[in-house]
Chain A
Amino acid sequence: MKAFMNVLKRKQPMNSELTTAFQIETGSSTEAFAKKEQSLEDKSRQKPLSAPGLTLKKVNVRYGDTNAIEGACLDIPSGSITALVGPSGCGKSSLLASISRMTDLTPQCQVSGEIFLGKDNILAKGTDLNRLRRRVGMVFQSPNPFPMSIEENIRFPLRDHGMRDESVIRKTIKNVLGDVGLWDEVKDRLGQSALALSGGQQQRLCIARCLALDPEVLLFDEPCSALDPLSSAKVETLIKGLKSRYTVLLVTHNLAQARRIADHVAVCWVQAGCGCIIESGDTRSIFERPVHPITQAFCQGLQG
């Protein structure tokens, strides 16, 4: 509890800085843009990144007899965005879900291999799932805000985690809504139902709700697939702005998007009836000098 408060306190100046960065961004002058770059730089100088990286070693995800993904090895460096691309049904969501152990909820689903979050193997027996899910935040494909008011969507998880100080809660709500660029849009109707927001706003609220709990790793499962191009551009910019503070893993069907925002790309494919990661590397080399013939075809849009 105390540690949690400290973390929040430590984060406040940074958050408010990012808020201004987003506010500036809505203006279009180049001067403002330069200012934003400046402030982001200041921030990364102020605080050394503490988010741990992720390492997947020979991860298998099975549903009964079918192998959703087999032998997945992947390095997800901290403080960067890694995009997971590939055709439908190749096991991207399953892989993502196994990182926050959401796969435990599906009774017939079995995960084997090793996933290291920092130094901890989260697939090991006796992993504290509460602690894990506090460290790993997840945003789903379709926005799923709770059927409560906008601010209650953030207050309720905070209070459930033991946060009682209303003034800190208020501040957190303001900061995270600012982070996702929603504060100006909703500040006059925080008490209204979150379900009355547009899809894009709901998705950003879900991201804000996730940020409020201060995770270290963020998992996004096709966060833009239900959104119109404008909202999806907003979410995209938002994710890009998060990478200096979090380790981000993003599933997307949109190759152009992966190319725009990801530092690293992993390509999934279905081979011999089960999914696997056929190639991974930094974005440039995957798109410009792919090694695997399937990656070549896929990334040039010839197949898939």
Chain B
Amino acid sequence: MNDGQKLDSGITVLIWLVSIALVVLPLSMLWDVVREGLPHLSFNFIVDQPLDAGRSGGVGSLLISTFWILGVCLLTTIPIGLGCALYLSEFVIPHSQSEKLLGFSLDVLAGVPSIVFGLFGYAVFAIQLGLGFSILSGGLSLACMVLPLFIRTAEQALRTCPKGYRQAAIALNISHAGFISRILLPSASGGIAVAMIISIGRALAETAVLIFTAGYVTRMPGSVMDSGRSLSVHIYDLSMNVPGGQSNAAATALILVMMIVLINVLARYLSRRWQHVE
């Protein structure tokens, strides 16, 4: 074996080690969660209200709060985000000053720590706009946080549209609106679904933003103006502030993981269906 071959095999071993670590680490975390949480998981745990600061009872009201917060977040993110992504991919002149500026600001925003969005949301939505600690302020602040990520990912998806489609559409004198709605969006639907999954994942995992804006009341929310505790905040609270809350924290985490997997599968299925219909 000469030196080059030695180097090759060394690098091969290194790459294998890294790949194994990449698979083993999340699996071991998942295993931890399953081992601790699964015994506590039951139908009652999913539907019951939390009792005794979450040490007993279930997560029913928290699930509802989480869905509401996520709903508000997505209802704001998707139209605004898709609009921005379309603007960036269709209307901004490539390599122009404005494209650079917009891209730069989005990348900076995407890198801002979530706690900053929490404080921003608290100052603007909760105080300035008078929404208080509510699901509405929480969802809107979350939307601010995931928007840059969603826009960037959706923009990438839109840019993968084959050039031939655009060429054909222009040669056939198809209106820009017709091109966007019937060709561009459907052909990018898979990528847009991925952008949504990533955003939902970020939103479901977020705690810092929500503690400042949606609050941590465990009651069943009656409207979007009520405060509500999300699953992620619940996990944080149980494991940090409630002695003896470990196992219920794990069970809640397990629910969160299952939700994310389910959303992933669903989104993939839907986007495939969408492409088939077209």
- B-contacting residues of A (Cβ < 8 Å)? 100, 102, 105, 107, 130, 133-134, 137-138, 140, 142, 144-148, 152, 156-157, 160-161, 193, 206, 209-210, 213
Contact = CB atoms under 8 A, between A and B. Distances in A.
A160 B94 CA distance: 27
Interface string B145-189: 000000000000000001011011111111100100011001100
A147 B278 contact: yes
Given A133-B173, A210-B172, A102 B278 contact: no
A146 B183 contact: yes
9 contacts: A102-B170, A105-B167, A140-B171, A145-B168, A148-B182, A148-B278, A160-B174, A193-B276, A210-B172
Contacts of A152: 278
A133 B171 contact: yes
Given A147-B278, A148-B182, A213 B172 contact: yes
A130 B164 contact: no
A140 B164 CA distance: 9
Contact of A157 (B94, B162, B172): B172
A133 B171 CA distance: 6
A209 B167 contact: no
Given A133-B172, A146-B183, 18 more contacts: A102-B171, A105-B170, A133-B170, A133-B173, A138-B171, A145-B168, A146-B165, A146-B182, A147-B183, A147-B186, A147-B275, A147-B278, A156-B178, A156-B182, A157-B172, A160-B174, A160-B178, A193-B276
Interface string B263-278: 0000000000001101
B171 A137 contact: yes
Contacts of A161: 173
B213 to A, nearest CB: 41
Interface of B: 93-94, 162, 164-165, 167-175, 178, 182-183, 186-187, 275-276, 278
Contacts of B94: 107
Interface of B is mostly: helix
B165 A213 contact: no
Residue from A144, A148, A206, A210 whose CB has the most chain B CB atoms within 10 Å: A144
Contact of B165 (A147, A157, A209): A147
B167 to A, nearest CB: 6
B170 to A, nearest CB: 7
Contacts of B275: 147
Contacts of B93: 107
Nearest to B182: A156
Nearest to B179: A160
A140 B169 CA distance: 12
A142 B186 contact: no
A128 to B, nearest CB: 10
Contact of A100 (B162, B171, B178): B171
Contacts of B182: 146, 148, 156, 160
A288 B36 CA distance: 89
A145 B171 CA distance: 12
Given A102-B167, A147-B183, A209 B278 contact: no
A241 to B, nearest CB: 21
Contacts of A147: 165, 183, 186-187, 275, 278
Contacts of B186: 147
B168 A140 contact: yes
B172 A209 contact: yes
B216 to A, nearest CB: 47
Contacts of B173: 130, 133-134, 161, 213
A252 B178 CA distance: 32
B165 to A, nearest CB: 6
Residue from A102, A146, A157 whose CB has the most chain B CB atoms within 10 Å: A146
A105 B182 CA distance: 21
A102 B170 CA distance: 8
B161 to A, nearest CB: 10
Nearest to B174: A160
B171 to A, nearest CB: 4
Nearest to B95: A107
B175 A160 contact: yes
Contacts of A133: 170-173
A209 B172 CA distance: 8
Nearest to B169: A146
9 smallest beta-carbon distances between A and B, as pairs: A144-B164, A133-B173, A160-B178, A138-B171, A144-B168, A157-B172, A160-B174, A134-B173, A148-B278
Contacts of A160: 174-175, 178, 182
A144 B169 CA distance: 10
Contacts of A134: 173
B185 to A, nearest CB: 11
Nearest to A156: B182
A144 B172 contact: no
Contacts of A137: 171-172
A140 B178 contact: no
A157 B170 CA distance: 11
Nearest to B171: A138
Contacts of B167: 102, 105, 140, 144
Nearest to A213: B172
Contacts of B162: 144
A214 to B, nearest CB: 12
Residue from B93, B164, B178, B276 whose CB has the most chain A CB atoms within 10 Å: B164
